């Protein structure tokens, strides 16, 4: 029994690393919070507040007539929210603060015309007031044309709506949250693990065993990717079943999203390796990692579409890797794109990957 050099298996060592690392990640509260709890909280918040669309709050004057056809028609408009339980004083104060978008008072007249519609708008909420204005115009036009003495129409309006998928808030928010969860887990998780393994001499102790360096890195990577993909799957399923997140081709879409997640995570782990090399101790990791993650959190279309940004900001957004991950993710989930259809996004992620790993190899420290 001289020794077992010949039968030594790097694969076995790598898998042992991966297993240990995976167990460790599962027991690390920060990993679970970053990858699961954070995105889920954001999805919950936006899932609930984002669903309603526009609401226009209209106070109804106590002296108003409530039995006329105009009021009935207003009641049936879904964007109009009629408030009938506030006193005049309350309504006036709310109107000036913009909590009410308008106050309406419809009077029945003894003479012609039979009704007068008094509307008070507020400068505090002009755009919603304008929507109400056009809703009222529309209603009054219909009411007026129905009466006998109205002039014959000059032009007739015909409206049709084409069938389409509704783009829900969740369809925008979930891919963004997923992308950000991958970014933070890739950067923070990787940086903390490798720095602490280095500082506590765990890696040094490993080097006294026959394990190869690549086995250590690969084992860690496998564990982190496996954990992130489980997290992503969990987020996607919650989003789909609880909030109606659109998965065009069902299972195939999920698989494509997971593959893209893995690609994104590998790129982001490059940032993590770099940070672990630059950081001197554990307290210097968060500031450095935040420099990488925060701008992307805000500028990569996590919460708002990039097209909403001012034009001078857009080129910066379009330089960030998370932008392309989010973009690709939305295309896959909502438009039903395959990986081949998002070649452009993948190419840019790939370029980022090469750049960041070139840097990581330079600054990474084993001891």
Residue ranges in contact with another protein by CB under 8 A: 3-5, 7-9, 12-13, 15-17, 19-21, 23-24, 27-28, 196-197, 200-202, 204-211, 215
Contacts of 54 (CB under 8 A, 6+ apart): 79, 128, 131
**For another protein, which is the closer residue by CB, 131 or 202?**
202
Among 366, 11, 360, residue whose Cα is nearest residue 218: 11
Cis omega before residue 127 (within 30°)? no
**For another protein, which is the closer residue by CB, 16 or 259?**
16
- Measured from the CB of residue 292, what is the shortest distance to another protein in angstroms? 23
- Measured from the CB of residue 232, what is the shortest distance to another protein in angstroms? 22
Among 275, 343, 293, 47, residue whose Cα is nearest residue 182: 293
**For another protein, which is the closer residue by CB, 25 or 247?**
25
- Measured from the CB of residue 94, what is the shortest distance to another protein in angstroms? 54
Using a 10 angstrom Cβ sphere, with 0-12 exposed, 13-18 middle and 19 or more buried, the burial of residue 316 is middle
- Measured from the CB of residue 196, what is the shortest distance to another protein in angstroms? 7
Question: Which residues, in sequence order, are bridge partners of residue 103?
Answer: 59, 120
Tokens of 21: 């690392």
Secondary structure element (H or E) that encloses residue 82, with its range: strand 80-83
- Measured from the CB of residue 281, what is the shortest distance to another protein in angstroms? 14
**For another protein, which is the closer residue by CB, 201 or 313?**
201
54 to 237, 280, 343: CA distances (angstroms): 28, 50, 36
**For another protein, which is the closer residue by CB, 22 or 42?**
22
Contacts of 247 (CB under 8 A, 6+ apart): 236, 240, 253, 254, 333
**For another protein, which is the closer residue by CB, 20 or 358?**
20
Instruction: For residues 274 and 293, give the distance between their C-alpha atoms in angstroms, rounded to a whole number.
Output: 13
- Measured from the CB of residue 185, what is the shortest distance to another protein in angstroms? 16
């Amino acid at each position: 029994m001289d020794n077992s050099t010949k039968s030594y298996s790097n694969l076995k060592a790598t898998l042992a690393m991966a297993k240990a690392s995976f167990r460790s990640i599962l027991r690390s509260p920060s990993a679970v919070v970053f990858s699961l709890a954070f995105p889920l909280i954001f999805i919950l918040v936006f899932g609930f507040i984002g669903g309603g669309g526009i609401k226009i709050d209209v106070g109804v004057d106590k002296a108003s007539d409530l039995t006329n056809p105009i009021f009935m028609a207003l009641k049936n408009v879904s964007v109009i929210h009629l408030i009938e339980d506030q006193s005049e004083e309350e309504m006036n104060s709310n109107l000036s603060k913009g909590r009410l978008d308008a106050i309406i008072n419809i009077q029945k007249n003894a003479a012609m015309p039979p009704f007068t519609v008094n509307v008070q708008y507020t400068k505090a909420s002009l755009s919603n007031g304008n929507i109400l204005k056009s809703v009222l115009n529309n209603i009054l036009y219909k009411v007026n044309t129905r009466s006998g003495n109205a002039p014959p129409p000059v032009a007739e309006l015909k409206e049709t709506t084409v069938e389409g998928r509704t783009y829900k808030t969740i369809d925008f928010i979930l891919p963004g949250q997923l992308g950000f969860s991958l970014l933070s887990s890739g950067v923070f998780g990787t940086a903390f693990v490798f720095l602490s393994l280095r500082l506590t001499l765990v890696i040094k102790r490993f080097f006294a065993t026959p394990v190869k360096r690549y086995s250590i890195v690969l084992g860690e990577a496998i564990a982190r990717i496996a954990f992130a993909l489980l997290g992503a799957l969990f987020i996607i399923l919650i989003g789909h079943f609880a909030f109606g997140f659109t998965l065009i081709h069902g299972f195939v879409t999920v698989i494509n999203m997971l593959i893209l997640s893995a690609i994104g995570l590998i790129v982001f782990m490059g940032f993590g390796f770099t940070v672990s090399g630059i950081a001197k101790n554990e307290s210097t990791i968060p500031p450095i990692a935040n420099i990488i993650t925060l701008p992307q959190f805000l500028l990569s279309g996590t919460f708002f579409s990039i097209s909403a940004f001012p034009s001078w900001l857009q080129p910066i957004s379009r330089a960030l890797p998370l932008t392309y991950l989010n973009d690709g993710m939305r295309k896959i989930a909502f438009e039903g794109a395959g990986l081949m259809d998002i070649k452009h996004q993948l190419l840019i992620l790939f370029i980022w990957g090469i750049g960041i790993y070139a840097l990581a190899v330079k600054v990474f420290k084993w001891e």
